[in-house]
Amino acid sequence: MNTPTVGILIGGLIYSRIKKNGSDFEPISFYEEACIQYGLSPCFFRLKDITLETNQINALVKGEKGKYEMKVITIPKIIHNRGLFFTNKSKLKIKSLQKTGVIIFNDRNRYGKWGVHEILMKNEELQPHLPETKRASSRNFIEMMEKYKELIIKPNSGSLGGGVVMVEKKDRDLWEVRYRQKREAFTNEWPEIIRKKVLNKNYIIQERIPLTEYQGSPFDLRVSVQKNGLGEWQVTGVVGKVAKMGNYVTNVAKGGTCKTLNELLNEYSDLDFNEVYQSIEDFSIKAVTELNKYFPNLADVGLDIGLTSEGFPMFIECNGRDLRYSFKIAQMPEVWKATYTTPISYARYLFDSKIDEE
């Protein structure tokens, strides 16, 4: 039987890990197993390993001795993108590749928070799940302070929890800004940190969702939403991220820990796990279906979703390259593995439905 090759486009860090550890690096063994299951063979490469002129790549392929070796092969027809590209040159290279008929899913994997908010706002059903959001400006900040007791000011584009500021009303004219581990009280005159962020066009101002808490720390959820072997969206897994004691951001990069949703809901006896899970799933599928209209190759995202004390899902952000690692930390090995298997099953679907046999 003909075993087509699926390409996995990765960054430099993972590339060196494969060269060093090969299949001993867990994510790689997950891809390998999934490929056996779906009758594909994987190859790994970076953007710079692609030579458009010759239609070839210099890829890492498993050799006969079970070690990964560099091999020059034809560019695979289906590529799962797991890299992050910032420069225009890289983006152009991806575009040129697509023009030759190669399908690259999750081609884009950074989406500005403001743009995503605007897209989702267009759908009435999704609106109740979106915290009020405005672009940073003095006027918008004043307006938001009049409406909400708690605000979040954060960068429009990725920061792993860095640069996120919380502003909280303490009393009639008394406010407090929290940034990293610092707190600063203010009344009429805005502290430097606020002025800097509010006047920065690359920031957004958001109503702070009153997040559910676990042992006194706020938590939110990472929801892996992926296209599967039927070419349909599915929720592959949900995991909770709990902020470090005293912190207001849940990012693992900022000391957050990961726990299962079941564990986290234990403190909320009036919330039913199945009902909450169902509403997370419903919202997530609707949200990505909407985003997919604007980003046609979208196939694998990690949504950050907060819960209110009523168990109502509130959208925080959409990550284009879900690191998937939270599932490992929360000791959910099966789900962790499934986040790798599902994109491969989708690649199989693409081979069967979009690629003509030669």
Ligand X SMILES: Nc1ncnc2c1ncn2[C@@H]1O[C@H](COP(=O)(O)OP(=O)(O)OP(=O)(O)O)[C@@H](O)[C@H]1O
Residues forming contacts to Mg ion in the complex (CB under 5 A) are 304
249 binds ligand X (CB under 6 A): yes
Candidates 76, 240, 306, 313; binder of ligand X (CB under 6 A) is: 306
Options 164, 194, 288, 305; binder of ligand X; rule CB under 6 A: 164
Residues 266-305: x where in contact with ligand X by CB under 6 A, - otherwise, as a string: --------------------------------------x-
Question: Which of ligand X, Mg ion, none binds 158 (CB below 5-8 Å, type-dependent)?
Answer: ligand X
Report the alpha-carbon distance of residue 335 to residue 333 in Å, rounded: 6
Distances from the Cα of 139 to the Cαs of 42, 134, 136, 248, in angstroms?
52, 10, 8, 25
Burial of 317 (0-12, 13-18, 19+ CB in 10 A): middle
| 324 in contact with ligand X (CB under 6 A) | no
Q: Is 260 in the site for ligand X (CB under 6 A)?
A: no
Question: Contact with ligand X (CB under 6 A): which of 81, 284, 319, 341?
Answer: 319
**251 binds ligand X per the rule CB under 6 A:** yes
Residue whose Cβ sits closest to ligand X: 158
Residues 6+ apart with CB under 8 A from 227: 105, 233, 234, 299, 300, 342, 343, 346, 349
Exposed (0-12), middle (13-18) or buried (19+): which is 6, by Cβ within 10 Å?
buried
| Closer to Mg ion by Cβ: residue 304 or 322 | 304
CB distance 183 to 177 below 8 Å = yes
Burial status of residue 275 (CB atoms within 10 A of its CB: 0-12, 13-18, 19 or more): exposed
Q: Does 109 bind ligand X (CB under 6 A)?
A: no
Among the listed residues 9, 60, 194, 209, the single contact to ligand X using CB under 6 A: 209
Task: Identify the three-state secondary structure at position 50.
Answer: strand
Q: Does 58 bind ligand X (CB under 6 A)?
A: no
Coil, helix or strand for 287?
helix
Q: Does 129 bind ligand X (CB under 6 A)?
A: no
CB of 196 to ligand X, least distance (A): 17
The answer to the question of residue 177 lying near ligand X (CB under 6 A) is: no
CB of 307 vs ligand X, minimal distance in Å: 11
- Shorter beta-carbon distance to Mg ion: residue 4 or 218: 218
Q: Are strands 68-74 and 50-51 parallel, antiparallel or unpaired?
A: unpaired
Q: Do 229 and 347 contact (CB within 8 A), yes or no?
A: no
Taking the C-alpha atoms of residue 262 and residue 309, their distance in angstroms, rounded to an integer, is 15
Q: How far is the CB of 24 from ligand X (least distance, A)?
A: 28
Rounded CA separation 150/219 (Å): 16
Point out which residues bind ligand X (CB under 6 A): 131, 152, 154, 158-161, 164, 206, 208-209, 211, 220, 249-251, 304, 306, 316-317, 319
